[in-house]
Structure 1
C-alpha cells in the first residue's frame, strides 16, 4: 500500500520527466528557425533528409516519449493518440521530398509532449 511519501516522491519525478520530454521535443521539432519567417524546425527535419534511415531513426525518440508516458500511467487512449502522431510522422515523413516538407509543419514530438502535459495536469 503506497504511503503519502511515495506519492509525493512521484511528483518531482513527473516534473523532471515532463521537462526532459519537452527538451527533447523542442530539439527534434523546433530548435532552429528560418530567419524572416515563423517557420521552425529541428533535428527531425534535418535527420529525416537521410533517405531510408532518417525517419526510422527519428521514430526512436517517439518510442522513448511513449515509454515515459506509460511509466506515469497515462490512459491508453492518450498513448494511442501519441502512437498515431508518431506513425503519421513516420509514414508521410518517409515519402521523398513530400515527407521532408511535411516534417517542417507536422511536429509530432511537440504534439506528444503536449499530450503528456495535458494528461499529467488531469492527474493521470
Structure 2
C-alpha cells in the first residue's frame, strides 16, 4: 500500500479554524497565502509559486479567480478593522496583479515575481501583531 504524497504537509481543510477570533483568522490567512503563493518550487529558478501562477495560465477566468481569492484576504483584513488606507492599498495590489494578468506572458511572469498576496499578508500580520499581540507566532 503506497501513500499519496502531499504537496503541502499539514495543509488540510480540517486544520483551518473557522472562528472569528484573531488567532483563527491569522492561521486561515497564512494558509491561504501559502496556497496562493507557495505550493511548490520551480526547478532552475528555485522560486516558490502556488495557485496564483497556475490560475494565471488560464486566460481571463483564471486571473479573475486569483483576484477573487486575493480579494478574500482584503475582506478578512476589513473584518479585522484595518484602516481604509490599508485596505485601499491592499485592493490596489490585487487589482494591479489582476491587470497584469490580462497581458499574455507578462502576467505569468508577474505572478511569479510580484506577490501581491504575500505583501498583503505581511501588512495584515503587522496589524495583528500590533492590535492583537496574543496571536503572534514565532517561526523557527
TM class by shorter-chain length? 0.7 to 0.9
Gaps of 5+ in 2: 1-19, 133-140
Contact 1:92/1:98 (<8 A) preserved: yes
**Structure 1 residues not aligned, in runs of 5+:** 1-11
Q: Which residue of 2 aligns with 1:107?
A: 115
Aligned Cα root-mean-square deviation (Å) = 1.5
Q: Which residue of 1 aligns with 2:104?
A: 96
Cα distance in 2 for partners of 1:35, 1:98 equals: 20
Number of the residue aligned with 1:118: 126
Instruction: Tell me how far 1:36 sits from its aligned partner.
Output: 4.4
Give the number of equivalent residue pairs. Answer: 113
Query: Which has the higher relative contact order, 1 or 2, with Cα contacts under 8 A spaced 6 or more apart?
Result: 1
| SS of equivalent to 1:33 | strand
Name the structure where helix makes up a greater proportion of residues. Answer: 1
Deviations 1:41-83 (A, max 9, x none): 1011011101121100111112211111111111111111111
TM-score (norm 1): 0.84
Moved more, 83-92 or 29-38: 29-38
Determine whether 1:86 maps to 2:104: no
Give structure 1 regions of 4+ aligned residues with deviation exceeding 2 angstroms. Answer: 35-38
Alignment correspondent of 2:73: 65
